[in-house]
Each structure stands twice: as C-alpha cells, then as structure tokens.
Amino acid sequence: MTDHDHGSTDAHDGESHDHSHSHDDHDHHHAHDVESLAAAILTVSSSRTLEDDPAGDAIAAAFESDGHEVAVRDVAGDDFDSLQSTVDRLVDRNDVDVVVTTGGTGVTPDDVTIEAVGGLFDKELPGFGELFRRRSEDEIGTRVVGTRATAGIVEGVPTFCLPGSENAARLGSEELIVPEAPHLTGLATRPEDDEG
C-alpha cells in the first residue's frame, strides 16, 4: 500500500494553481519529496569526539550510502542551553535539510536532549519514537522503555533524536530516518498555498 492509493480525488487535485510540475499532481503525496538531502549530525556527549564517534559515523554512512550528503558533523555537551542553541543554529542554516542528534535520550540526570530539542518542535512526530522502540525491542527487550527517542519539525526542518549507541543510531538512521526524511522534508517545506 502506498500513500497515494487513497486521496487522489481530494480538493487539492482540483485546484487551479499554476505549477510547472502539474503532471505530478496525481501523486501529490510524493511530488514534493526532496531527492538529495544535506544532513546535520550532532553527537551529544561529554566524552565523545568526532574522531571517536561510532554512532555519528553510522548515521553519516546511512545518509551517504543513499546518495545524500552530510553538511555538518559536530559534538555538543550534555547542557540544555548550549544543546538547544546549537540545534536552533543548525536548522537556520541554508545548507541543512534535516538534523539528527545522537545521545542524551535516556533517563539519567544529564540526559537532556529530549527536553532541549523537544522545546524547539513546531510539530511533533510521535510515530518516529513509537516505531523506533518497536524495532529496538528485539535487540534490547523491555529496556526499550528507557529510551525516549523522538522527532519533530523545527522551523521546517525534520529533526530526529536518537540514542547514543552505535546500534541504535544505525537502526534509526538506516531503517527510519533516511527512508522517510526526503518525504518529510518536502512536506515540511511545502509552500502554504500548496497544501490543498
């Protein structure tokens, strides 16, 4: 089942906007997909460096192997204010289409990624965390209740928060983020008069 199997007769299809790509209107759910993304990867850790960042490496590899580019790689400490301002700066960059953080999603006192980044969300994407935990259960069992992986849209930029383990970063980026980010980015940046 594809997204466009239902809804091809909605009001959007009947509108008379002057689109040069009107032949794509039959598949309007995917007409806005972004073919090539530029990702910003932010590792949240007080001990990691870019030279010792297996989770960040796994996320970068997932994007690059699918033909996308990594525009930014950075490491930020477990500090609410600096983390929030770093993500805020990343989404403001013209060369960043999607932001992925790794680390700081657990339940220890210094795990503040969800609070810092979640405070920036204009829209939440609860399905990401739900699906990530379901996919993770085979590997870590009931310990999955301790992961707070989440995602949302920040100023038109899909932003994902993954745990800091290499396996979690690989699973989240390869199976969920990279396949869906082009669609989410296209929808999140679609002009308001094009929403139907």
Structure confidence by residue, pLDDT tens digits, 4-35? 444 333 333 433 334 344 344 434 555 678 88
Fold held by 36-190: Molybdenum Cofactor Biosythetic Enzyme; Chain A (3.40.980)
pTM of the model: 0.83
On the 0-12 / 13-18 / 19+ scale of CB atoms within 10 A, 3 is exposed
C-alpha distance across the termini of the chain, in Å: 22
- Contact between residue 112 and residue 77 where contact means Cβ atoms under 8 Å apart: no
